[in-house]
């Protein structure tokens, strides 16, 4: 059966509601409410005035119950935000450059043995061994230079990816925090009215 998460219209608690339910009473604050489906949205609404008048006496109780729960949810939200922000971020980028560096390291090793082989075979004075020697140096410098470049590039990429991710995390946490703070203000106002 499909279950939807809805906010209680009385205390704001998250309630798991079966998709085909029409009426329910909140397990936290005992507010009777109906499931209102309109234009693709689904929400909880307190039941009519007569019942709500009977219910009003418990509104203060509901609000008093809601305050510590909302405060706890706010704390959990902060803990969750910190944990998400501190989580390690792994990125794969600059694959082309990384492959080029690996290729040059392999080339460096192969050319080394090619030079030994050529020298052993009596090619040590030939122009060919000089060409191989130049290539060997090119691979050596390319490997070191490429590796350093790769490190800088990856650090920049990581900083960018982290800034993007953190902005998403903070945006979502700030949004949830605003909702909870509004509920908290409402609950405190109800408690203070009485
Ligand atoms: Zn409730």
Dihedral pair phi/psi, residue 5, rounded to 5°: -95, 120
Lowest mean pLDDT, pick from 54-63, 75-84, 137-146, 184-193: 54-63
Q: According to the model, what pLDDT value does residue 36 have?
A: 86
Instruction: Give residue-wise pLDDT tens across range 29-65.
Output: 888 888 888 878 888 988 765 555 555 566 788 888 8
Centre of ligand 1 to C-alpha 173, Å, is: 22
Q: According to the model, what pLDDT value does residue 58 have?
A: 66
What are the start-end ranges of the H helices in the chain? Answer: 49-86, 95-120, 127-193
Centre of ligand 1 to C-alpha 168, Å, is: 30
Centre of ligand 1 to C-alpha 10, Å, is: 5
pTM of the model: 0.56
Centre of ligand 1 to C-alpha 15, Å, is: 8
DSSP-derived 3-state class of residue 45: strand
Instruction: Give residue-wise pLDDT tens across range 108-129.
Output: 999 999 999 999 998 888 899 9
Question: Dihedral sign, CA of 114, 120, 122, 126?
Answer: positive
193 pLDDT tier (thresholds 50, 70, 90): confident
The CA distances from residue 162 to 89, 95, 148, 155, 165, in Å, are 7, 19, 21, 10, 5
Neighbours of ion ligand 1 (CB under 5 A): 8, 10-11, 13, 26, 28-29
Q: b/e map of 109-132 (b: 16 or more CB within 10 Å)?
A: eebeebbeebeeeeeeeeeebeeb
Neighbours of 108 (CB within 10 A): 19
Residue 154 clears pLDDT 90, i.e. is over it:
yes
């Amino acid at each position: 059966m499909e279950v939807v998460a809805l906010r209680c219209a009385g205390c704001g608690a998250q309630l798991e509601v079966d998709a085909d339910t029409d009426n329910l009473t909140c397990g936290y604050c005992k507010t009777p409410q109906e499931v209102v489906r309109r234009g693709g949205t689904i929400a909880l609404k307190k039941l009519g005035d007569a019942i709500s008048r009977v219910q009003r006496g418990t509104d203060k109780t509901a609000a008093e119950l809601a305050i510590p729960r909302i405060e706890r949810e706010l704390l959990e939200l902060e803990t969750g935000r910190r944990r998400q922000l501190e989580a390690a971020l792994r990125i794969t980028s600059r694959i082309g450059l990384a492959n080029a560096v690996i290729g040059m390291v392999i080339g460096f090793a192969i050319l080394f043995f090619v030079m030994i082989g050529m020298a052993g075979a009596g090619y040590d004075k030939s122009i060919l061994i000089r060409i191989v020697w130049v290539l060997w140096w090119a691979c050596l410098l390319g490997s070191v230079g490429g590796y350093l470049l790769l490190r800088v590039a990856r650090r920049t990429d990581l900083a960018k990816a982290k800034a993007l991710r953190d902005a998403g995390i903070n945006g979502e946490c700030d949004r949830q925090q605003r909702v909870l703070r509004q509920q908290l203000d409402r609950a405190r106002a109800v408690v203070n009215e009485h």
